[in-house]
Structure 1
Amino acid sequence: MQTCLLQRCETVDAIDVAKIEAEACGRPIRTRKVDIMVPLILQIAGILAVLLRLYARWTMMPRLEADDWIMIVCGVIFTVLVVIGQIAGAMAFGEDIWMVEPDKLTLGLKLFFVDEPLYLATITLTKISVLIFYLRIFPNKSFRRATYATITYIITSMTVILFLQIFQCTPINFNWDGWKRDFGTYRCLDLHRLVNIAGGLSISHDLIILVLPLPLLWGLTTSKRSKIGISFMFSLGVFILITACIRLHYIAAFTHSLNPTWAFTDPLTWSGIDASVSVIVVCLPAIRILFKCGWSKLLSQNGTARGGLAQRRVLSAVRRKAQDPESADSKENTINARDEEVAEGVFATDVASVLSMEEKYDFIFSSQSTRMETHDSEPELELEDVVPREIHGSVGYPGGGSAKETS
């Protein structure tokens, strides 16, 4: 009956009648407020992930890189997104529309309208941060051109979607006042088509970012086990892809609902999960090395025989090379990876985990470029190849040629 009233009567009157009818007939009051609170766990974890990433980078390198600054901006926007989203959810969503007070419904829809561009900005910045990270660790010219093209594609498409989202209805205040159905003259885009296009573009971004580095990663002349581990770290983006697909499913269903405050519970929930997972996954590599170094320090303090012996062997090998720098071959091809390859476990994590903070600054995070040989015929990356400010390895990229020097 409530649905019939919403279809055939003025909205405000229909809501009042539906509420009276529900109370008179003793209908159970439905609520999904708890469901809206579920993403809060991941949202808090996302905020903590950004803070841990910044702490790890601040304590283990002399300066923050471009992708770190992007994540600082992203973290601020994400925090505002979480606060506004939780207020809007508690105020106007998770229950039937006839149970929501009109003033609260209007304010909740207004907050939701503000939250939408914050969501788009959050997921866009996480993607750009990952691509900037790619540019810092992979010197291959073909790969870099593909990465720049992907950045351009993401920025352009998300800017268009943001513009369409803001002006999906004119006047703009129809987005929060239009539910009353007495607004007057207005014009709106096809919301169903818009959300499908936006969701499809976002999924295409995730797929490209996920697949882009795989040829380079499998071209590394390291053991198969190392390749699998490295690929796993880069493939965590599959979780972002999954949540984006689930969110798109619920968003599409919402656009046809006559009871949006109830129907939008799932889209609101999965939007929060999607943004949170994106932020967490992007921060995981830095968090991983932070905990890895902490664990190595704990082993050293406890005097664990196995851990201590392994650390002494690594440090001894490093210092032997430092005392005899001429033993290392000169390298023509460079890769600017003083933090990621070593400090984030992409190529030589164990070296970073056993050095003191001063040695890390001198050895890993020097202002000079870290070096990497890029010929497929070279042997596997070995511990003895690691020297201060130089890491020797090999990257192969089908059809892309050898890597060149980057700064």
Structure 2
Amino acid sequence: MTVSRRFLILGTLCLLYDTTAAQSLDSMPTDAPKCAVDCLTELLSQKEYAQMGQEAMCSSKPFSKAMGVCLMTKCSMRQTMGTWFEKKDFIKESSAACGIPPTNNTNEYRLNGTIVFVFALVFFALRMVTKFRLGLTWGIDDTLTTLSVVMLALGLGLDMWFISDSQIILIFKLFIVIEVLYLTALVLVKAAILCFFLRIFPDHKFRIVVKCTMVFNALIWVGFFIFVFFQIQPFSLFWNGWQQKKGHLILTGFTNFTLPLAGMNLLLDIWMLILPMTQLWGMGLKLRKKLGVISMFSVGIFLTIVAAIRVRELVAFLLSEDLTVDHAQSAVIWSNVEISVGVMVACMPHIRHLVRHITSRIRARKGTETKHKNRKIFVDRSLATIEVGDSQAIELNDEGGLLTANTCTTASSATKVGTTSTTKDSKTYGSVSFASDGDTQV
């Protein structure tokens, strides 16, 4: 049973029944709905509840359950409190009568938000270290990831019934801002990942598919603004409609767009997880190394899992009555987690490059590093089959040197690099770069 629904049941009991057992039903508060009065009269006429006082009613679970069943059967939500926005004063007073303290999850919300933001910030910082320390070219995916972190930094927890009218209005205004920042950050994260695909996969058809995906991603963002800013006229009803008994207008955006938007984002996450696999599986790598490369690109599955959890929480949120507590905290937290995980996923290839650079320097100092310089780990054609030379020495399209490991060399040995033509059945597949050794790491 939700917090607000329990407040509704217990509050009805407290306002309908005075501490004096002899008080007549004629003295019940006039602000109580008729269906609730009927329910209480019916229950008090039963032998097991006839002698109950206010304190007993507030603490009795069987009585609360029986009252709740009756209320949900005889009263519509509008009959019970008008609309769920109009329950505010009634539930506040009734909860105080029963001694039920207001829910306050503010600190928990702030803690969760801070933790996921710090993780995303650490990953972003490591990405920047990789860029500037190793001299990699700045790409559009770097710009988009930077903007995503800014949006995340700009990114409720009290019972709606226990905060002032001005605070409720501010919360709805902030919700609009947060929703805009959330979607913008999410679109930027996805765009950054898609731009990364364009940087490393040269296949023409694949690049067309990626660009079409980028267009669809952008259209989601445009569609959001068109829908949100034109669904309610005047737009101010979004934050003060509850005062004008037009609270259903606020829910219009949630039910008609927020949930479908979350569903589309989930499907897009799954699609973006599949995209690189279509290129990686056909690469000329040994199975072990192929699985290693695929696993690096599969970190996006965490983003998909988080998106799925967020959809579940949004469904629960839309079905709740107390918008600032019932599942709202989980919905907001998982939205923050989704953006943060997206930033981390976008930064992982750069972090991997930094880790390889550091480990190669450590091995070089120990004298165990195989001497390489500017070695590449992928082939220029994503689906090329390698039959000649070292099958592990392949390279992807590497704009900016992201996938090129610049490792240390010593004076005692130099790297030998050459080219050869790959042939099979008297057909030439082109020139492929290779290194003299086969110690390429993936």
Task: Determine if the TM-score, normalized by the shorter chain, exceeds 0.5.
Answer: yes
CA distance in 2, matches of 1:255, 1:317: 53
Indicate how the Cα distance of structure 1 residues 168 and 355 shifts in structure 2: closer, same or farther if over 3 A, else same: farther
- With CA pairs under 8 Å and 6+ residues apart, which has the higher RCO, 1 or 2? 1
Q: 2:8 aligns with which of 3, 12, 26?
A: 3
Residue 194 of structure 1 corresponds to 257
CA distance in 1, matches of 2:270, 2:247: 43
CA distance in 2, matches of 1:194, 1:247: 15
- The answer (yes or no) to whether the contact 2:299–2:345 under 8 Å persists in 1 is yes
Indicate how the Cα distance of structure 1 residues 373 and 189 shifts in structure 2: closer, same or farther if over 3 A, else same: farther
Residue 143 of structure 1 corresponds to 206
| Structure 1 unmatched runs, 5+ | 82-88, 319-327, 343-350, 357-370, 392-407
Residue 436 of structure 2 corresponds to 384
| Structure 2 unmatched runs, 5+ | 1-5, 10-31, 33-76, 377-388, 390-394, 411-418
- RMSD over equivalenced CA pairs, Å: 3.6
| Cα offset, 1:382, TM superposition | 5.6
Residues 1:354 and 2:413 aligned together: no
Map Cα deviations across residues 58-86 of structure 1 (whole Å, 9 max, x no partner).
222253112112222222222212xxxxx
| Cα offset, 1:266, TM superposition | 1.3
**1:310 counterpart letter in structure 2:** E
| Cα offset, 1:231, TM superposition | 0.5
- The answer (yes or no) to whether the contact 2:85–2:247 under 8 Å persists in 1 is no
CA distance in 1, matches of 2:191, 2:332: 24
Identity within the alignment, %: 24
Larger deviation: 254-263 or 189-198?
A: 189-198
CA distance in 2, matches of 1:245, 1:158: 19
Indicate how the Cα distance of structure 1 residues 156 and 298 shifts in structure 2: closer, same or farther if over 3 A, else same: same
Indicate how the Cα distance of structure 1 residues 183 and 197 shifts in structure 2: closer, same or farther if over 3 A, else same: closer
**2:99 counterpart letter in structure 1:** G
Residues 1:48 and 2:102 aligned together: no
Larger deviation: 119-128 or 179-188?
A: 179-188
Residues 1:16 and 2:80 aligned together: no
Q: 2:368 aligns with which of 306, 309, 320?
A: 309
Q: 1:341 aligns with which of 403, 408, 413?
A: 403
- Structure possessing the higher radius of gyration over alpha carbons: 2
Residue 35 of structure 1 corresponds to 108
Residue 223 of structure 1 corresponds to 286
Map Cα deviations across residues 15-71 of structure 1 (whole Å, 9 max, x no partner).
233222212211244332343131320112212322321221122225311211222
Residues 1:77 and 2:140 aligned together: no
- Structure with the higher helix share, 1 or 2: 1
Indicate how the Cα distance of structure 1 residues 316 and 227 shifts in structure 2: closer, same or farther if over 3 A, else same: closer
Indicate how the Cα distance of structure 1 residues 208 and 22 shifts in structure 2: closer, same or farther if over 3 A, else same: same
CA distance in 2, matches of 1:168, 1:374: 60
CA distance in 2, matches of 1:372, 1:25: 84
Larger deviation: 132-141 or 284-293?
A: 284-293
CA distance in 2, matches of 1:76, 1:162: 20
| Cα offset, 1:184, TM superposition | 10
- The answer (yes or no) to whether the contact 1:138–1:144 under 8 Å persists in 2 is yes
Indicate how the Cα distance of structure 1 residues 186 and 265 shifts in structure 2: closer, same or farther if over 3 A, else same: closer
Map Cα deviations across residues 298-333 of structure 1 (whole Å, 9 max, x no partner).
454xx43xxx2224x335999xxxxxxxxx9xxxx9
CA distance in 1, matches of 2:274, 2:258: 24
SS of 1:341's partner is coil
Aligned residues: 336
- TM-score for the superposition, normalised by structure 1: 0.72
CA distance in 2, matches of 1:56, 1:186: 48
| Cα offset, 1:379, TM superposition | 12
Indicate how the Cα distance of structure 1 residues 118 and 375 shifts in structure 2: closer, same or farther if over 3 A, else same: farther
CA distance in 2, matches of 1:14, 1:151: 44
Residue 299 of structure 2 corresponds to 236
Residue 85 of structure 1 corresponds to none
CA distance in 2, matches of 1:181, 1:2: 23
Residues 1:154 and 2:212 aligned together: no
CA distance in 1, matches of 2:374, 2:272: 39
